[in-house]
Chains A and B, each alone.
Chain A
Amino acid sequence: MTLYEKITTLYTELTDADFAPDTGTIMLQNDSDGNGDYIKEWNHPTLAKPTQEQLDGVQ
């Protein structure tokens, strides 16, 4: 399960628009360095940035 899938499982109200380049408030990134996807920016107006524990708990 990707980071995007985990986040949208935690917050079902999120849509692709929330992750859209230029207009979205959440930016996920992967620097192809073996460390995987991560939250680069989280500026959502109402939802809190999920903790690593929350993300790890998503199956």
Chain B
Amino acid sequence: MKPEDEQPSEEELREAAALAAALENEPAGGGAPTDALETAALLRHARAPLAVPPAHAPVVAAHVAPALEARRMPRPRRSRIWIAISVVAPAAAAGWLFLAQSPMRAHRHPIQPKIHVAPPAPSSGLLAAQAAATRSGDAPGVALARLDREMRAYRRQYHEGLRRVHGGAR
């Protein structure tokens, strides 16, 4: 620290002029000494409370509103995706197997006439079980078990129909 009455050097005069310009936000303030600028900032902010103005709250609320709104939007539940996969994948596999084996079966039994057996109409219990399995979000286990029972009953019914037409061969 220099005594206040000491003659300033060229360097100090240049620093003082740059500081004065910087405090006035003038372009010439670019070379102002950092230590003096930091101290000036501290003193300037010390004269008023370091408080966020109350008017800032609604500004922030508006700024974050889209991010808040995005959090309020419901997201697709994973369990529903898995239910859809568990229904579609076996059906696709069964369809592929049926198509792949059809030519071989036709080759083995070329002269057998085709007998169409219409599948039975699904029961109201089966439809209700399907609907429940699609809806059940967080506890799909119970609904899927019920759907499985209903599907077994339906398949039994269908196979009985096939046996009646084909004379109980299977």
A binds B: no
Q: Which residues of B contact A (CB under 8 A)?
A: none
Q: Which residues of A contact B (CB under 8 A)?
A: none
